[in-house]
Amino acid sequence: MIFDTIIIGGGLSGLTCGIHLQKAGKRCVIISSGQSALHFSSGSFDLLNTLPDGRSVSDPVQSLDELQVQNPSHPYIKIGKTDFIRLAEKSQQLLTDASISVGGSYQRNHYRLTPFAITKPTWLTMTDYVSSDQPDSLPWKNVCLVHFTGYLDFHPDFFQGKFQELGIKVQNVELDLTKVSIRKNTPLEVRSTNIARLFDNEEALDNFVRLLAHKVGDADAVLLPACLGLERTNIVNILSRKLGVEVKLLATFPPTVSGIRAQYLLKQRFMQLGGTYMLGDTVNKVDFENNHISKIFTVNHGNIPLRGEEYVLCSGSFFSEGLVALPNDVVDPICGLDVDYISDRKEWFASDVFDQQNYESFGIRTDETFHGIKNGQAISNLHVCGASLSAFNALKEGCGGGVSMLTALYVAEDILRQKENK
Amino acid sequence: MNEYDVIIIGGGATGAGTLRDCSMRGLRTVLIERSDIATGATGRNHGLLHSGARYAVTDQESARECISENQILRRIASHCVDETDGFFISLPDDDLSFQTKFVKSCQSAGIRADVIDPKEALVLEPSMNPAVTGAVRVPDGSIDPFRLTASNIRDAKTLGANVLTYHMVTELIRRQDAIVGVKILNVRTKETSELYAPIIVNACGIWGAHIAEMAGVKVSMFPAKGALLIYGHRVNKIVLNRCRKPSDADILVPGDTICLIGTTSTKVPFDTIDNMYVLPEEVEILRKGAQELSPILEKTRILRCYAGVRPLVASDNDPSGRSVSRGIVLFDHEKRDGLKGFITITGGKLMTYRLMAEQATDLVCTKLHIDKKCETATVKLPGSREDKETILKKLYSMPSAVQESMIYRHGEMAEKIATNNVVNNSLVCECEEVSYGEVSYAIDHMDVNNLIDLRRRTRLGMGTCQGEFCACRAIGILAKQKKIKPEKEKEELVTFLNERWKGIKPIAWGDSLRESQYASWVYESVCGLSKNNKDLTK
DSSP output for B278-303: --HHHHHHHHHHHHHH-GGGGGSPEE
Flag whether pLDDT at B420 surpasses 50: yes
pLDDT-derived band at B322 (thresholds 50, 70, 90) equals: low
Helix (H) or strand (E) holding B267: strand B266-267
Task: Tell me what pLDDT residue B317 has.
Answer: 65
Please indicate, yes or no, whether residues A237 and A266 belong to a single structural domain of this protein: no
pTM score, two decimals? 0.92
The residue from A218, A250, A282 where one domain ends is A250
d(CA A291, CA B259): 45
Please indicate, yes or no, whether residues A282 and A379 belong to a single structural domain of this protein: yes
B140 Cβ neighbours under 8 A, 6+ residues apart: B48, B49, B50, B51, B53, B84, B85, B86, B239, B241
Is residue A114 a part of any domain in this protein? no
Report residues of chain A scoring pLDDT below 70: 182-189, 422
Nearest to residue B291, comparing CAs of B304, B282, B300? B300
Q: List the single residue in B472, B510, B521 with the smallest CB-CB distance to A319.
A: B521
Q: In a 3-state reduction of DSSP, which class is residue A385?
A: coil
Judged by CB atoms closer than 8 Å, whether chains meet at B522 and A253 is answered as yes
> Scanning every residue of chain A, which has its alpha carbon at the shortest distance from the alpha carbon of B287?
A327
Choice between A176 and B92, residue whose per-residue pLDDT is larger: B92
B529 close contact with A: CB closer than 8 A: yes
pLDDT-derived band at B469 (thresholds 50, 70, 90) equals: confident
Is residue A112 a part of any domain in this protein? no
Judged by CB atoms closer than 8 Å, whether chains meet at B428 and A152 is answered as yes
Please indicate, yes or no, whether residues A374 and A321 belong to a single structural domain of this protein: yes
CA-based R_g, chain B, Å: 23
Task: Tell me what pLDDT residue B528 has.
Answer: 93
Judged by CB atoms closer than 8 Å, whether chains meet at B422 and A189 is answered as yes
State which amino acid sits at residue A211: L
Is residue A272 a part of any domain in this protein? yes
What ipTM was reported for this prediction? Answer: 0.95
Nearest to residue A227, comparing CAs of A257, A200, A203, A248? A257
Of all residues in chain B, the percent with pLDDT exceeding 70 is 96
- The domain locations on chain B are 6-41+146-220+321-368, 80-141+223-308, 388-537
| Count of Cβ atoms closer than 10 Å to residue A233 Cβ | 16
Please indicate, yes or no, whether residues A64 and A21 belong to a single structural domain of this protein: yes
Please indicate, yes or no, whether residues A186 and A306 belong to a single structural domain of this protein: no
Please indicate, yes or no, whether residues A267 and A398 belong to a single structural domain of this protein: yes
The residue from A250, A281, A312 where one domain ends is A250
Cβ-based contacts of B527 with chain A (< 8 Å): 114-116, 118, 253
Please indicate, yes or no, whether residues A289 and A411 belong to a single structural domain of this protein: yes
Is residue A121 a part of any domain in this protein? no
Contact residues, B window 380-419, toward A, CB-based 8 Å cutoff: 399, 401-402
| Count of Cβ atoms closer than 10 Å to residue A289 Cβ | 8
pLDDT-derived band at B537 (thresholds 50, 70, 90) equals: very low
Buried/exposed code over A314-332 (b: 16+ C-beta within 10 A; e: otherwise): bbbbbbbbbbbbeeeebbb
Q: List the single residue in B423, B518, B528 with the smallest CB-CB distance to A319.
A: B518
CATH number, domain of A318, equals 3.50.50.60
Of all residues in chain B, the percent with pLDDT exceeding 90 is 80
Most B CBs within 10 A among A48, A183, A318, hence the mutation to make, goes to A318
Task: Tell me what pLDDT residue B325 has.
Answer: 67
Most A CBs within 10 A among B426, B470, B497, hence the mutation to make, goes to B426
B299 close contact with A: CB closer than 8 A: no
pLDDT-derived band at B536 (thresholds 50, 70, 90) equals: very low
B281 close contact with A: CB closer than 8 A: no
Please indicate, yes or no, whether residues A44 and A134 belong to a single structural domain of this protein: no
Please indicate, yes or no, whether residues A139 and A266 belong to a single structural domain of this protein: no
Judged by CB atoms closer than 8 Å, whether chains meet at B422 and A118 is answered as no
CATH number, domain of A218, equals 3.40.50
Flag whether pLDDT at B321 surpasses 60: no
Task: Tell me what pLDDT residue A190 has.
Answer: 79
Please indicate, yes or no, whether residues A201 and A180 belong to a single structural domain of this protein: yes
- Are A120 and A111 a contacting pair, CB within 8 Å? yes
Judged by CB atoms closer than 8 Å, whether chains meet at A114 and B526 is answered as yes
Give the phi and the psi of residue B140 in degrees, each rounded to 5. Answer: -75, 170
The minimum CA-CA distance between A165 and chain B, rounded to whole Å, is 12
Task: Tell me what pLDDT residue B464 has.
Answer: 83
Flag whether pLDDT at B1 surpasses 80: no
Flag whether pLDDT at B538 surpasses 60: no
Q: Which domain holds residue A189?
A: 130-250
CA-based R_g, chain A, Å: 23
Judged by CB atoms closer than 8 Å, whether chains meet at A348 and B500 is answered as no
**Half-sphere exposure of A306 toward its Cβ, with a 13 Å CA cutoff?**
28
Flag whether pLDDT at B86 surpasses 70: yes
Please indicate, yes or no, whether residues A276 and A358 belong to a single structural domain of this protein: yes
The minimum CA-CA distance between A323 and chain B, rounded to whole Å, is 9
d(CA A241, CA A232): 15
Is residue A111 a part of any domain in this protein? no
B1 close contact with A: CB closer than 8 A: no
d(CA B296, CA B290): 9
pLDDT digits (tens, 9 = 90+) for A175-219: 988 777 755 555 556 788 888 888 888 888 898 999 999 999 899
Nearest to residue B264, comparing CAs of B247, B288, B245? B247
Judged by CB atoms closer than 8 Å, whether chains meet at A152 and B527 is answered as no
Flag whether pLDDT at B535 surpasses 60: no
Is residue A172 a part of any domain in this protein? yes
How many domains are there within chain A?
A: 2
Cβ-based contacts of B486 with chain A (< 8 Å): 157-158, 161
- Are B19 and B152 a contacting pair, CB within 8 Å? yes
Please indicate, yes or no, whether residues A52 and A146 belong to a single structural domain of this protein: no
Judged by CB atoms closer than 8 Å, whether chains meet at A116 and B487 is answered as no
User: At the topology level of CATH, where does B80-141+223-308 sit?
Assistant: D-Amino Acid Oxidase; Chain A, domain 2 (3.30.9)
pLDDT digits (tens, 9 = 90+) for A256-302: 899 999 999 999 999 999 999 999 999 999 999 999 999 999 999 99
A264 Cβ neighbours under 8 A, 6+ residues apart: A230
Q: Are strands A307-313 and A324-326 parallel, antiparallel or unpaired?
A: unpaired
The residue from A250, A267, A283 where one domain ends is A250
Task: Tell me what pLDDT residue B327 has.
Answer: 86
The minimum CA-CA distance between B54 and chain A, rounded to whole Å, is 32
Cβ-based contacts of B525 with chain A (< 8 Å): 46, 394-395, 398, 400
pLDDT digits (tens, 9 = 90+) for B71-81: 999 999 999 99
Helix (H) or strand (E) holding A396: helix A394-397
> What CATH code would you report for B6-41+146-220+321-368?
3.50.50.60
Is residue A90 a part of any domain in this protein? yes
Judged by CB atoms closer than 8 Å, whether chains meet at B509 and A353 is answered as no
pLDDT digits (tens, 9 = 90+) for B113-161: 999 999 999 999 999 999 999 999 999 999 999 999 999 999 999 999 9
Average pLDDT along chain B: 92
Average pLDDT along chain A: 93
Is residue A328 a part of any domain in this protein? yes
